[in-house]
Structure 1
Amino acid sequence: MIITNVNIVLEDEVVLGSLEVREGNIIALSDTQSQLSAAINGDGAYLLPGLVELHTDNLEKFFTPRPKVSWPSASAMASHDALMIASGITTVLDAIAVGYINDHGARLANLQRMVDAITSSQQAGVNRAEHMLHLRCELPNPDTVDMFETLVQQAPIAMVSLMDHTPGQRQFVDSEKYRTYYMGKYGLNEQEMAQFEAEQTAAAVQWSTPNRQAIAALARAKHLPLASHDDATLAHANESVALGCAIAEFPTTEEAASASHQAGLKVMMGAPNIIRGGSHSGNVAAATLADAGVLDILSSDYYPASLLDAAYQVALSPTNQYDLCQAIKMVSATPANAIGLNDRGCIAEGKRADLVLAKPTDERLRIMQVWRQGARVF
């Protein structure tokens, strides 16, 4: 396959030219136009590397499309996969919650179903994107370590993150926002919410610290990429460094993000934060971290289409120093390299032909075609 007349977004420059693919890999790049009639004419659109998503819980929406509605696994997985590819995401780390926040929610019931759906569909070769497992470990829970050990034995894991959503700290320093979020999420009344909040606080006192240490040690022993989550203070950032974290997911303050970045952790923020102009929890805006030069990775989190939109918005912003190449690296090369996927994430000879053809339209990039390992999937 040859794609010609495209603005190829490389790691350091944009080149108008052509690209040749053979057996799923990029074998040649050129700054000239191909004269072959069979070449795909990109009409001057951007040719980007396939996007790499490290943290999305989007799959949950398809397994439980409405409260108390459980959808068939194969159909849910296929719908989720199609949305990822339509968003230009060719490598997906599906974030599966290990350890429940509320045992009346759907996450615990769906945990094994989602793990099985991801692994079986990937093994069967029916997914358009490549899906991997990201275990997001809720620390204030007595069962988290046991569940983690069981899942690690069942399936290959691409990434592990350490989460603590206890009220009054990290993401939910503002307890009122905590109450608003979880009352809406689980349909709790004031009395039920007060009990829920007390239970979560007590569980955190007993389990958060030992679970954090135990899971981090297990991840290091198995050489699994480890991420912190919602670090808010310098002490949090230093603890994450000491635990061996490679990624700082969604730090909630500029102090924690800057300290993590300076220590070599890749700072990841939500793409919806960029699109919405701030955090829905009232924490630091991702654009603020971009302006400070400490934003490394974007994640679509709960809205897949936000990933490319946010990267392009960062590139267009007059307040930071990220050009288009640097912004696209936030959603391709940097996340891929952070978890050791060195065969993808950039357009270069010898790399996988995971590619996205996109045209600028009304301050966003409209996705026209997507290929994974040279095969067109959108």
Structure 2
Amino acid sequence: MTETLTLANARLVLPTEIRLGSLQIRDGVITEIGDGASVPTGAIDCEGDFVAPGLVELHTDNLERHIEPRPKVNWPHAAAIIAHDAELAGTGITTVFDAMRVGSIPRGKGRYLKYARGLASELWEQREAGALKISHFLHLRAEVCSETLLEEMAEFGPDDRVGIVSLMDHTPGQRQFRDLSKLEAYMKGKHAMSDAAFVEHVAHLKELRGRLGDAHEAGAVAEARRYGAVLASHDDTTEDQVTVSAQHGIHVAEFPTTVEAARACHANDIAVIMGAPNLVRGGSHSGNVAARELAELDLLDILSSDYVPAALLQGACQLGRLWGDMARGLSTVTSAPARAARLEDRGAIQPGLRGDVVRFQMFADTPVLRGVWSQGRRV
């Protein structure tokens, strides 16, 4: 049975412009785009609201937050996955790359324990059962400064929907935590570390990086190729680090921490992802470069919600105002991330693409969602 959805009298956010018109989705696929304010019989009158492609999220820690809502508090995974999926749908995200860390540090305070393989299997069970509202892929965060990275990555394969592998290196004193005082505040706040425990933690991580880091980095690159995943860097700080990223074949840089690194990324045809919370808050919580500064320098290509799902649409609209081009702002959370992740079937309002769309209006410079559809089905 054919299912048809028509959204009319809408400000359609097209790839390079916004214009008043209508949109038809049939059996989950966009079939027609019309012009004008007319509302055909059976259509939904959007009353001049924006209708944009569904948001594409490349890096969110939100599922991790649901399975551990507080330190050392574990939540049932099935319930956590369903709540995470519903929360993202409720913020306009229709495609997500769920970030899961691979690479454990099982010893000492501040340790990380293996969880990704089991959680991914539970996620796919729910997907197969039809319990999820939106489209899910995996983003494996490969922590080279760890003890078990390659063993954990070996448990995944080409059938696991691993779309992105990011090379993470949280060795203290470089990249995100060049300022050790920021790391100290974070670890003491999250893990209640004593001064002595923090010193021991830093020494342990540096020893791991020196002993295993290079082999882990090379192995993670090889595993990403085996999966057929896009490679991303994380927290590039210097031009030299970006040069290494380019040599690995990386085309996406998550959260470069300096203008120098962002410039080097563009010089090497590497797209720059910045956190929407950084933009909305007006700066980085780690003391690194502000997303707004990179946007003003035309060095920002993609937004990620990171740890606040609702920040994605809000940040994109904020960029639209900053650039004086709402279509361009929305592209940082729709077509640009879709291209970066090699998803050719979504990310734009265009005939033949998936019927993933969102309807929203602006209230005091804040977007208010009024509808979200995944493959033409309201979620």
Secondary structure at 2:142's aligned position in 1?
strand
Code of the residue aligned with 1:216 in structure 2: it is V
Code of the residue aligned with 1:56 in structure 2: it is T
Deviates further, 118-127 or 172-181: 118-127
Residue equivalent to 2:66: 62
Code of the residue aligned with 1:299 in structure 2: it is S
**Alpha-carbon distance in 2 for matches of 1:363, 1:252:** 28
**Alpha-carbon distance in 2 for matches of 1:35, 1:368:** 18
Q: Which runs of 4+ in 1 moved over 3 A?
A: 101-107
Deviates further, 265-274 or 138-147: 138-147
Residue equivalent to 1:12: 16
Deviates further, 101-110 or 291-300: 101-110
Q: Is the contact between residue 269 and residue 286 of structure 1 (CA under 8 Å) also seen in structure 2?
A: yes
Residue equivalent to 1:348: 350
Cα separation, partners in 2 of 1:154 and 1:26, compared to 1, 3 Å: closer
Residue equivalent to 2:313: 308
Report whether the alignment pairs 1:175 with 2:173.
no
Residue equivalent to 2:49: 45
Deviates further, 341-350 or 200-209: 200-209
Residue equivalent to 2:207: 202
Q: Of 71, 78, 84, which residue of structure 2 is paired with 1:74?
A: 78
Deviates further, 368-377 or 255-264: 255-264
Q: Of 206, 218, 238, which residue of structure 2 is paired with 1:233?
A: 238
Deviates further, 104-113 or 179-188: 104-113
Secondary structure at 1:237's aligned position in 2?
helix
CA shift, 1:101, in A, is: 4.8
List alignment gaps of at least 5 residues for structure 1. Answer: none
**Alpha-carbon distance in 2 for matches of 1:35, 1:223:** 44
Residue equivalent to 1:329: 331
Code of the residue aligned with 2:113 in structure 1: it is L
Q: Of 9, 30, 33, which residue of structure 2 is paired with 1:29?
A: 33
Instruction: Show the 5 A alignment for 1:74-153.
Output: 74-101=78-105, 103=107, 108-152=113-157
Report whether the alignment pairs 1:263 with 2:268.
yes
**Alpha-carbon distance in 2 for matches of 1:294, 1:24:** 35
Q: Of 214, 227, 234, which residue of structure 1 is paired with 2:219?
A: 214
Code of the residue aligned with 1:300 in structure 2: it is S
Secondary structure at 2:236's aligned position in 1?
coil
Q: Is the contact between residue 3 and residue 19 of structure 1 (CA under 8 Å) also seen in structure 2?
A: yes
Q: Of 243, 246, 249, which residue of structure 1 is paired with 2:248?
A: 243
CA shift, 1:151, in A, is: 2.2
Cα separation, partners in 2 of 1:111 and 1:146, compared to 1, 3 Å: same
Deviates further, 30-39 or 222-231: 30-39
RMSD: 1.5
Q: Is the contact between residue 343 and residue 352 of structure 1 (CA under 8 Å) also seen in structure 2?
A: yes
Q: Of 353, 362, 365, which residue of structure 2 is paired with 1:363?
A: 365
Task: Provide Cα deviations, 1:313-344, integer angstroms capped at 9, x if missing partner.
Answer: 11112xxx461111111001111111111100
Secondary structure at 1:125's aligned position in 2?
coil
CA shift, 1:106, in A, is: 8.3
**Alpha-carbon distance in 1 for matches of 2:21, 2:267:** 37
Relative to the length of structure 2, the TM-score reads 0.95
Residue equivalent to 2:198: 193
CA shift, 1:145, in A, is: 1.1
Task: Provide Cα deviations, 1:148-188, integer angstroms capped at 9, x if missing partner.
Answer: 11123672311100000111100011011111111112221
Deviates further, 357-366 or 96-105: 96-105
Task: Provide Cα deviations, 1:193-249, integer angstroms capped at 9, x if missing partner.
Answer: 111111011111112222111211232344310000000000000100000111001
**Alpha-carbon distance in 1 for matches of 2:127, 2:111:** 23
Instruction: Show the 5 A alignment for 1:153-172.
Output: 155-172=160-177
List alignment gaps of at least 5 residues for structure 2. Answer: none
**Alpha-carbon distance in 2 for matches of 1:117, 1:285:** 36
Deviates further, 21-30 or 139-148: 139-148
